[in-house]
Structure 1
Amino acid sequence: MPAPRIPRIKSPELLIAESGTDLEGHGLKRTMGLFQLVCFGVGAIVGTGIFVGLSDSVAQAGPAVVVSFILAAITCVFTAFAFAELGGAIPVSGSSYSFAYAGLGESTAFLVGWCLLLEYGVSVSAVAVGWSQYVNELLDSLTGRQLPAALSSGPTDGGVINVPAVIVIALASVLLMRGVRESARATAAMAVLKLAILVLFCAIGFSAFKDGNLTPFSPAGLGGIGAGTTAAFFSYIGFDAITTAGEEAKNPRRNIPIAIMICIGLVTLLYCAVALAAIGAIGGDKVGGQPAALSYVVNEVTGSTVGGGVIAFGAVVAIASVVLAVMYGQTRILMSMSRDGLIPRVFEKISPKTSTPVAGTLIVAVVFAVPAAFASLDAAVNLCTIGTLATMAAVNVAVIALRRREPGLARTFRVPLYPVVPLLGVGFCLYLMYETGWTTWVQFALFLVAGFLVYVLYGRRHSRLAARAEATAAVAERESQAV
């Protein structure tokens, strides 16, 4: 008689028990309060998307980019509700991966974790490339010179190697290995600074605001707004990183849902204000296609490079904080996958001295410094976007699955208007995935196939959940035979 198939779904209780939430298990320390979580979320979100990517969104949608930002925010809000519910109910480091494990099973969870390599890992590379652009802008405003193209861009952008992109990843990895408390303090300081810089930009931009610059409002029609929404969505990537702090946050069941909602609301208002200020000041045709758009706008308005230099300095700090926050999230997700045996154990090792996954951080830094050094920003954005949207859709489905399977699960926050909101979240995610284009879909499909092969050849065979279940079944069988 063949052995019964063992379901590979991990209960929320088991996820929490294995996470070390009693402050013992894996050595993580709870040091992040609500303010630190909000700053961490802002640090993960506000960066390349608005400082560099704004020009791409404006090029697609024109002044209607404000609508694109709002539509992208709506997509995030629907999914933010799902993250808030699951982040409060299952406060562990695995984020979407752990939520999928509890709601959808091991194979889906592995593919979600695989897609998170795009959201966190590839976005680190993309963000680092954007950081390099503003480093050059800052050097130009201070010295009148820039780094040679050969050393500040990859081969796809006409250079040889992007040295600044590698440097920012190296600096972030060093800070992360020093400890979570130090990283949280640095992220909070950089988040406050970048918000101040963007408020300053809005003040300068609105001082030169002209109504005529907003017409025609939607030069490319609904198609342009849709394409602009997909481009604008990249500006919101990272809010879910808050849930990766589930094991290092104080009172995570309360603070994680609140932090997520505050971040989405704050960032949406900020993005719409920045877009209106930029376009209203000089017109959408001039904003579109500018590599360092915000500095360019300030230079045009003030007639001097000083203001642009200040904005460039803010961008350098802002984008560096994104690298720091996103690398933090990536290492914690890999740590959770490693605990489950789905990837090598090196990623779950915690340094007793710093209480951080030092080896995993080093590996992540080295692996993603390579595309940052040699690839372009555009090459990574769409692939990162579609991977993020896929994981967000999975989290919405996981909410529905867990509501049915675990109705008694302690939930400090519940998705409103269930099941309409999570279903709308899935729908918006699928629409934006469609808007990325068929080339991105082909690349994404190949990426998923590669991930499935890794799971079949390694993850499934080394799964600790399956090994535990098989051992339990074997014991039960022996006891029944003895009786």
Structure 2
Amino acid sequence: MIFGRVKPLDAILATAEKKSLQRSLGAFQLTMLGIGAVIGTGIFVLTAEAAQKAGPGMMISFIIAGLVCAFAALCYAEMASMVPVSGSAYTYSYAVMGELIAWMVGWALILEYAVAAGAVSVGWSGYVVGLIENAFGVTIPKAWVLGPFDGGVINLPAMFIAGVVTMLLVIGTRESATINAILVTIKVSALTLFIILAIPVMNMEQFEPFAPLGFGGIGAAAASIFFAYVGFDAVSTAAEETKNPQRNMPIGLIGSLGICTIFYLLVAAGVIGAPGLSSQPIVDAAGAAMEPGSRELAAQCVARAAEGIKDVVCSKEALAFTLREIGWPQIGNLLGLAAGLALPSVILMMMFGQTRIFFVMSRDGLLPEAFSKIHPKFNTPHVITILTGVFVALFAAFFPVGQLANISNSGTLFAFAAVSIAVMVIRKSDPTRHRPFRTPAIFVTAPIAIAGCAYLFLKLDMKSQLLFIIWAVIGLAVYFLYSRSRSHVGRGIVDEVHEQDADAPPQPVPPVE
């Protein structure tokens, strides 16, 4: 196999049974968790980011990103139903392509989940601050609600919500999932109301020019908008806590993705077509679009607002802003309230996925054993949950939402491509294994997913690409200096289940090289 050590699938399943999390989630809860993870910052906040890169052409960006995710979701569904344990892309890669690739995938998933949770926290802050200012007529000093790149000092509301979600996750998965289902209902209702109010007053002239920066701008927006879809794979990290995962995982993955795509296109059309607003990019003297989240764009937004120009790209709460401008100020405030209530569900799922990845990597010996400690009362991995919460709060405090989203996307795209490769490899290496869900036309579907991931990665800004490379180099150093020598597989500790004694302790066996 690729780069040596492979952990057999049977050993992975045996390990999961030996030190497992409680199975408490059904198909409906998984779908709700998927919608909760997917619908969030991407549509509530990154709509403005996409407009700055592509203008009305972001409609095509949503379709491109959605298609890439759809093909990746089909690959995920087969692997998740066949290997119903926590760990997502990390676990699948370990079983198919070996420990080094698995480590790099798990390391990349840290970028996906922890940084993404920070991005959503920043998005939540924008809506809550906008709600308070518009509903109560107060002005909050920008220094304390924006990070330094956005013209402030520290984003205190974003830090606050990250802390609250951390506490909720420590309490337990069942409680978190129940609260999440309520928040998803609020979120979907708010978006439905937005569509009902915004679509009928759409002005088609607002869609011209449709692609002011050409297809390059549409591709760049798709690379950012991809963030709006990535939550679906967080569902697969809950496989070990799912009842009947062979049936329920594919339903949760593909069902949530399909529902969210319909919402995205309708909401984006409502924002673009809003009369009196501009969804065109703001450009510099040379005609190039200014970088979202930059001080230069922030200054230009202030200047244009003083001239009475209303730009969607300048809003930190695009949907509520749109409703206020088309004559529904109170409904706009209600939507801001709904976002304030519902966006924490996205933070919850991102941090949920992060802690479960850490949990499984620790259980394999690649990270300190303390990371897989389970709370005696709440039955959750509390140590790593709290540690993750600290880092999420720091990300949210100092970085703009768009930059965090792009960095997160770099890790996500790498993981998605790895899963798409893994599902093809295991079709060849283990063709007789039971597959409750089979990806259709796998040798067409998976290559499309891989090519799509590569395309979107190349369309990310250079800063995000460079940060991913630096992060990967750090990950390699950690692996060779710490993890490789402590790996359970490398030390020959692989769990096996024997028919005569299913409860027997793990027996040392030689690692598969």
Q: Which residue of 1 aligns with 2:379?
A: 355
Query: Is the CA contact (8 Å cut-off) linking 2:364 and 2:489 kept in structure 1?
Result: yes
Question: In the aligned structure 1, how far is the partner of 2:43 from the partner of 2:441?
Answer: 31
Query: Is the CA contact (8 Å cut-off) linking 1:6 and 1:469 kept in structure 2?
Result: no
Q: Which residue of 2 aligns with 1:480?
A: none
Question: In the aligned structure 2, how far is the partner of 1:369 from the partner of 1:467?
Answer: 36
Matched, 1:472 2:506: no
Residue of 302, 305, 320 corresponding to 1:295: 320
Letter of the 2:200 counterpart:
S
Specify the SS of the correspondent of 2:95: helix
Task: Report the alpha carbon displacement of residue 378 of structure 1 after superposing the two structures with TM.
Answer: 2.8
Task: Report the alpha carbon displacement of residue 464 of structure 1 after superposing the two structures with TM.
Answer: 0.5
Q: How does 1:245-284 map to 2 (within 5 A)?
A: 245-282=238-275, 283-284=278-279
Q: Which residue of 2 aligns with 1:144?
A: 137
- 1:131-185 CA-to-partner distances (Å, cap 9, x unmatched) read 1111101111321124322221222223222111111111111111111110000
Q: Which residue of 2 aligns with 1:481?
A: none
Q: Which residue of 2 aligns with 1:407?
A: 431
Question: In the aligned structure 2, how far is the partner of 1:34 from the partner of 1:82?
Answer: 19
Task: Report the alpha carbon displacement of residue 412 of structure 1 after superposing the two structures with TM.
Answer: 1.0
Query: Is the CA contact (8 Å cut-off) linking 2:361 and 2:367 kept in structure 1?
Result: yes
- 1:163-208 CA-to-partner distances (Å, cap 9, x unmatched) read 1111111111111111111000011111111000000001110131
Residue of 413, 418, 421 corresponding to 2:442: 418
* Percentage of matched positions with identical amino acids: 39
Query: Is the CA contact (8 Å cut-off) linking 1:111 and 1:448 kept in structure 2?
Result: yes
Letter of the 1:297 counterpart:
T
Residue of 211, 216, 226 corresponding to 1:223: 216
Specify the SS of the correspondent of 1:281: coil
- Shift of the 454–122 alpha-carbon distance from structure 1 to 2, 3 Å rule, reads same
Specify the SS of the correspondent of 2:492: helix
Query: Is the CA contact (8 Å cut-off) linking 1:93 and 1:244 kept in structure 2?
Result: yes
Task: Report the alpha carbon displacement of residue 352 of structure 1 after superposing the two structures with TM.
Answer: 2.4
- 1:427-450 CA-to-partner distances (Å, cap 9, x unmatched) read 000000000133322221111000
Specify the SS of the correspondent of 2:388: helix
- Shift of the 458–212 alpha-carbon distance from structure 1 to 2, 3 Å rule, reads same
Question: In the aligned structure 1, how far is the partner of 2:390 from the partner of 2:417?
Answer: 30
Task: Report the alpha carbon displacement of residue 473 of structure 1 after superposing the two structures with TM.
Answer: 4.4
Residue of 77, 87, 108 corresponding to 1:115: 108
Q: Which residue of 1 aligns with 2:307?
A: none
- 1:453-476 CA-to-partner distances (Å, cap 9, x unmatched) read 0000111010001112695349xx
Matched, 1:448 2:472: yes
Query: Is the CA contact (8 Å cut-off) linking 1:50 and 1:235 kept in structure 2?
Result: yes
Query: Is the CA contact (8 Å cut-off) linking 1:95 and 1:240 kept in structure 2?
Result: yes
- More deviation, 344-353/82-91: 344-353
Letter of the 1:39 counterpart:
M
- Shift of the 289–349 alpha-carbon distance from structure 1 to 2, 3 Å rule, reads same
Letter of the 2:369 counterpart:
R
- More deviation, 264-273/205-214: 205-214
Matched, 1:386 2:393: no
Q: Which residue of 2 aligns with 1:236?
A: 229
Question: In the aligned structure 1, how far is the partner of 2:95 from the partner of 2:20?
Answer: 23
- Shift of the 263–360 alpha-carbon distance from structure 1 to 2, 3 Å rule, reads same
Question: In the aligned structure 2, how far is the partner of 1:146 from the partner of 1:80?
Answer: 43
- The structure in which a higher percent of residues are helix is 1
Residue of 351, 359, 371 corresponding to 1:335: 359
Q: Which residue of 1 aligns with 2:77?
A: 84
Letter of the 1:276 counterpart:
A
Q: How does 1:421-436 map to 2 (within 5 A)?
A: 421-436=445-460
Matched, 1:154 2:147: yes
Letter of the 2:489 counterpart:
L
Letter of the 1:360 counterpart:
I
Q: How does 1:159-198 map to 2 (within 5 A)?
A: 159-198=152-191
Residue of 196, 207, 213 corresponding to 1:203: 196
- Shift of the 253–154 alpha-carbon distance from structure 1 to 2, 3 Å rule, reads same
Task: Report the alpha carbon displacement of residue 221 of structure 1 after superposing the two structures with TM.
Answer: 2.0
Residue of 453, 461, 486 corresponding to 1:437: 461
Question: In the aligned structure 2, how far is the partner of 1:236 from the partner of 1:19?
Answer: 28
Q: Which residue of 2 aligns with 1:62?
A: 55
- Shift of the 270–403 alpha-carbon distance from structure 1 to 2, 3 Å rule, reads same
Query: Is the CA contact (8 Å cut-off) linking 2:222 and 2:456 kept in structure 1?
Result: yes
Q: Which residue of 2 aligns with 1:306?
A: 330
- More deviation, 420-429/142-151: 142-151
Query: Is the CA contact (8 Å cut-off) linking 1:87 and 1:256 kept in structure 2?
Result: yes
How does the TM-score come out when normalised to structure 1? Answer: 0.93
Task: Report the alpha carbon displacement of residue 363 of structure 1 after superposing the two structures with TM.
Answer: 0.9
- 1:411-432 CA-to-partner distances (Å, cap 9, x unmatched) read 1111111211101110000000
How does the TM-score come out when normalised to structure 2? Answer: 0.88
Question: In the aligned structure 2, how far is the partner of 1:338 from the partner of 1:241?
Answer: 18
Flag structure 1 segments of 5+ consecutive residues without an equivalent: 475-483
Question: In the aligned structure 1, how far is the partner of 2:152 from the partner of 2:462?
Answer: 28
Q: Which residue of 1 aligns with 2:503?
A: none
Residue of 122, 130, 135 corresponding to 1:129: 122
Matched, 1:15 2:37: no
- More deviation, 80-89/285-294: 285-294
Specify the SS of the correspondent of 1:288: helix
Task: Report the alpha carbon displacement of residue 218 of structure 1 after superposing the two structures with TM.
Answer: 2.0
- 1:42-98 CA-to-partner distances (Å, cap 9, x unmatched) read 111111111110011122222221111011000001100010000000011100100
- 1:393-417 CA-to-partner distances (Å, cap 9, x unmatched) read 0110011111111112211111111
- Shift of the 91–146 alpha-carbon distance from structure 1 to 2, 3 Å rule, reads farther
- More deviation, 314-323/37-46: 314-323
Query: Is the CA contact (8 Å cut-off) linking 1:136 and 1:146 kept in structure 2?
Result: no
Query: Is the CA contact (8 Å cut-off) linking 1:150 and 1:158 kept in structure 2?
Result: yes
Query: Is the CA contact (8 Å cut-off) linking 2:93 and 2:101 kept in structure 1?
Result: yes
- Shift of the 473–42 alpha-carbon distance from structure 1 to 2, 3 Å rule, reads closer
- 1:13-42 CA-to-partner distances (Å, cap 9, x unmatched) read 11111112xxxx335211111111011011
- More deviation, 310-319/93-102: 310-319
